[in-house]
Amino acid sequence: MVAESGSDGTPHLRRSIGTTQLALYALGSMVGSGIYGLIGKAAGEAGSAVWLSFLIALVAALLTSLSYASLGSRYPRAGGAAYVTDRAFGWPALSFTIGLALVASGLTSIATQSKIFGAIIADLAGWEAASSTAIAVGFPLILSGIVFRGIRESMWVNVVCTLMEVSGLLIVIASGLSYWGTIDYFEIPPDRVDFGLGVVVLQASVLAFFAFIGFEDAVNVAEECRDPERTIPRGLVIATVAAAVLYVAVSITAVSVVPWQELASAPSPLTAVMQKSAPSIPAELMTFIALFSVANTALVNYVTASRLIYGMAGQGLLPNFVGRVHQTRRTPHVAIAVLLGFLLLLVIAGRIADLAAATVLLLLVIFIAVNAALVVLKRRIGEPQGSFEIPLALPILGIAVCAILLIARLSSSDWQAPALAAALLAGILVIYALLRLTNATSR
């Protein structure tokens, strides 16, 4: 266990997370805006076959989640993806790119949730679109205060929000169970019939994959876990399996109760489902739960992004000052402040669908690299093993599935999301070049 202060008096992160909290942490990140806010948009792409998109996304998520669980048991450190790629390949440019790409995906994800949060509040109150933007901008300011306050406070907020959002999904499933089997579950949008069911479902699965994002967050709080070698694998597996069962059941329920055309245009899709399947339950209840769900996902992503920057600073990939830990709060306060600035720019400039899709594209690239790192490390003679080992075939399959999803998304006619992801990657490479130049001139 790492002490909360080093031998030189430098404050370290505080270890306070157990298996249950970690599972709720990862589950709270996954069971968030992806299912509450984006199931409608996924249905707009895949029609009634949206449940198949969630199944395909599950395969990619589960394979990579197992790889993260294995790596987390081997190397329980903050900055997980950046650390394991550096250990496997020894290329600072790759590790830097992967680490900041994960930070960028976190920022685009938080921006997505901020937009969804603002849209739900404005729709609930009957306000104009300008009010939605103002709320979306103010939302990250509140999050930054919670994240700065401390990991214990963040975890308790996460536990409360996770229990609420899971309860909401169970209510949706229970109220709509009688509608199961009443529609054609393989119907796709008429304007996409020429592509075929397989291609349409595969392309929509990239958006559905957004709902599974969150398992990677667990590794990045490793230095705040008790007994991380065991806590991380257990928490990851529990969270991913629980999310999978909920998602497939909810997606089948949603398209069974509400036609996918209406679901795609609904500001709060699951609220629309409840209005039809359980009209006696106030519609505002699901909207209220959806707000907590979106807030929870954003909170977890903010915590993760700040810990990634902390971990990368510890590896020497970023300047030391961004990894500083607050003496009293034991949180990486400089990283939190830096992230807030970039986050506000994304909230103002981005669209929900583009931000979500760009998040997934970045993560698919990262997941390919992480799976490849595990393959290299498992084959390396003398590399220490962890308490949770998986067959070599699983990370290889993870690479293949993530690559297929990436190619499927890039082959679609929508160019905005790939352009945003490419711009973020280009910006990361520019930052790396500038840091290298600064270091060279300072010697």
Whether 6 is covered by a domain: the verdict is no
Read out DSSP for 360-411? HHHHHHHHHHHHHHHHHHHHSTTPPP-SS---THHHHHHHHHHHHHHHHHHT
pLDDT at 197: 85
- Is 12 within the bounds of a domain? no
Task: Name the residue range of residue 312's domain.
Answer: 19-382+390-435
**How many folded domains does the chain comprise?**
1
In a domain, 11, yes or no: no
Q: Is residue 415 part of a domain?
A: yes
Side chain identity, residue 435: L
Task: Supply the pLDDT for residue 252.
Answer: 93
Whether 213 is covered by a domain: the verdict is yes
Residue 257: what pLDDT?
Answer: 94
- The first and second tokens of residue 58, run together, are 């599950």
Predicted TM-score (pTM) of the model is 0.71
* Cα diameter, the chain: 71
State residue 222's pLDDT score.
66
Domain membership of residue 399 (yes or no) is yes
For residues 131 and 124, the answer to whether their CB atoms sit within 8 Å is: no
User: What CATH number has the domain bearing residue 104?
Assistant: 1.20.1740.10
DSSP code of 192? G
**Which pLDDT value is given to residue 1?**
35
Kindly state whether residue 1 falls inside one of the protein's structural domains: no
The answer to whether position 440 is within a domain reads no
Q: What is the four-CA torsion angle of 42, 48, 49, 51, rounded to 10 degrees? A: 70
Q: How many CA atoms lie within 13 A of 106 on its CB side?
A: 29
Mean pLDDT in consecutive groups of 10 residues from the start of the chain, 443 residues: 47 69 79 71 88 86 85 73 86 85 80 82 76 84 85 76 86 93 90 81 79 72 73 84 88 92 84 88 77 80 82 79 80 86 79 69 86 93 86 93 83 76 86 81 64
Per-residue pLDDT, 78: 58
